[in-house]
Structure 1
């Protein structure tokens, strides 16, 4: 692929092509796992600099190489699927692996996603009992604890990766759990639904992802500039009800501590001190 075409792709599309390229260069069929399997299934993850992750069923661990990381798995505990003409771990095993081996906040993004049906890819929603049933026998005691905490925290009401990651970072920072997709009304009727709402403090939280200003399902026939104006009018109406509104973007999530400082400055209540998760 020429450099200009490559540079025009989004990072997640570049990563998906790396997985495809790895599959075409390996001399034997390979089962992809972790972030790589998630990419094939269309399950979002956090970060863009991940290596290609593949399984090995050899006790010696198999050989990793530049850009590719091999992980040993007992073949008796792995169900292999063919999706988009690639061999991958199933969605259940994929999100459980990510919950076991990535941070709590990162794990919530794929978990929230699979609890919703993926209409674009015609994939049904998974349910928590289904996820928990696949844990036994595949992970260490410590990993089981991490997975269970993450699955119990997951919530299908988070409507985007940014919303999921935000909510997980709030939890780690010790803030009180907000209500999600909270209905707000004024004298003229329904104002809309805030991504997060802390009732006692009367604070509405809004994550601004690029989807809101780019994707047709959010634009609903409007131009991006019209969406900006509509969002401003909506925020003014929310503030007029006596609520504080705090907004943030991806850059705030990817800079350590920035979201925490924003929420604290807005007066979002804490339930305890910051967690080490």
Structure 2
């Protein structure tokens, strides 16, 4: 039964593939301790963990995947989730999505794991309550998982946006609003949606756009436009955003987020509010817990 990052890969959750750089396969074990047992195989101690099966099958000429919870015995073809004409290709036992997320949340950094939580919630394969139920059964501090649950947001549309969002939070900046829509009458669409936005107490509107390289080179995203035309369209978009009341526009790419310093410098130069030590976003308490 696969667990940890191996289960996350089988669920096709989003995360940075450098988490596989140790080339370790994780399996769940009901006794013993979490240790490397042979070569690149590592055991994850999990006493009676909730499990499920990920089944790939062919139906009507198409290859499909279905998640079958709590199916530890018996042929997958008996499950009501599969059509009668399903031809099973393979079936893999894994720890449940909730248990997988808890294990990964305790094992990997916040910025690397939040994309898993975002994608799992976005796809509806797990709920926050199910993750909390797993935490209640753990005999260890689940603080990192609680932090992930507090900040996770399925409005992040892909792993890159989640990584950027998590890094912004981890660097101590105020949590941005996601996928905000501006009314822009001058634009052809009439509205413009942005990745991240901050509305500050002094009336500024700061927008951050996360730029993936695909938007310049992937034909499916550029609509066969050249790089020069894509850049021209970006500038027009920025003009429309400023007409809609945006005061500052920040653009960052994946490399800048990964290096952190370029992202942090751009946020500081734009005077993005900090969540720490900022009087508008933070309140102090005395020893009795009273808010000042």
TM-score range, shorter chain: 0.7 to 0.9
* Distance change in 2, residues 1:60/1:180 (3 Å): closer
Count of residue pairs brought into register by the alignment: 233
Alignment of 1:1-277 (within 5 A): 31-48=1-18, 49-55=21-27, 56-59=29-32, 61=34, 63-74=36-47, 76-84=48-56, 85-117=91-123, 124-140=124-140, 142=141, 144-188=142-186, 190-200=190-200, 201-213=204-216, 214=218, 216=220, 218-219=221-222, 221-223=223-225, 225=227, 226-240=229-243, 241-272=245-276
Asked if the contact 1:35–1:98 (Cα under 8 Å) also holds between the matched residues in 2, the reply is: yes
Please list every run of at least 4 consecutive aligned residues from structure 1 whose deviation after the TM superposition is greater than 6 angstroms: none
Q: d(CA) in 2 for partners of 1:261 and 1:176?
A: 15
Q: d(CA) in 2 for partners of 1:62 and 1:160?
A: 32
* Distance change in 2, residues 1:233/1:50 (3 Å): farther
* Distance change in 2, residues 1:105/1:205 (3 Å): same
Q: d(CA) in 2 for partners of 1:67 and 1:235?
A: 49
Q: d(CA) in 2 for partners of 1:215 and 1:86?
A: 35
Deviation at 1:180, TM superposition (A): 0.9
Asked if the contact 2:199–2:206 (Cα under 8 Å) also holds between the matched residues in 1, the reply is: yes
- Tell which structure's C-alpha radius of gyration is larger: 2
Asked if the contact 2:186–2:240 (Cα under 8 Å) also holds between the matched residues in 1, the reply is: no
Deviation at 1:78, TM superposition (A): 3.7
Asked if the contact 1:128–1:152 (Cα under 8 Å) also holds between the matched residues in 2, the reply is: no
Deviation at 1:43, TM superposition (A): 0.3
Cα-to-partner distance string for 1:63-101 (whole Å, 9 max, x where unaligned): 434443332222x12414244533322222211211122
Deviation at 1:239, TM superposition (A): 3.5
* Distance change in 2, residues 1:243/1:136 (3 Å): same
Asked if the contact 1:53–1:68 (Cα under 8 Å) also holds between the matched residues in 2, the reply is: yes
Secondary structure of 1:37's aligned partner: helix
Deviation at 1:131, TM superposition (A): 2.2
Secondary structure of 1:45's aligned partner: coil
Q: d(CA) in 1 for partners of 2:33 and 2:183?
A: 61
Q: d(CA) in 2 for partners of 1:109 and 1:239?
A: 30
Q: d(CA) in 2 for partners of 1:33 and 1:215?
A: 36
Unpaired runs of at least 5, structure 2: 57-90, 279-292
Q: d(CA) in 2 for partners of 1:139 and 1:261?
A: 40
* Distance change in 2, residues 1:78/1:50 (3 Å): farther
**Over aligned residue pairs, what C-alpha RMSD do you find?**
2.5
Deviation at 1:114, TM superposition (A): 0.9
Q: TM-score scaled to structure 1, two decimals?
A: 0.74
Q: Name the one with the larger strand percent.
A: 2
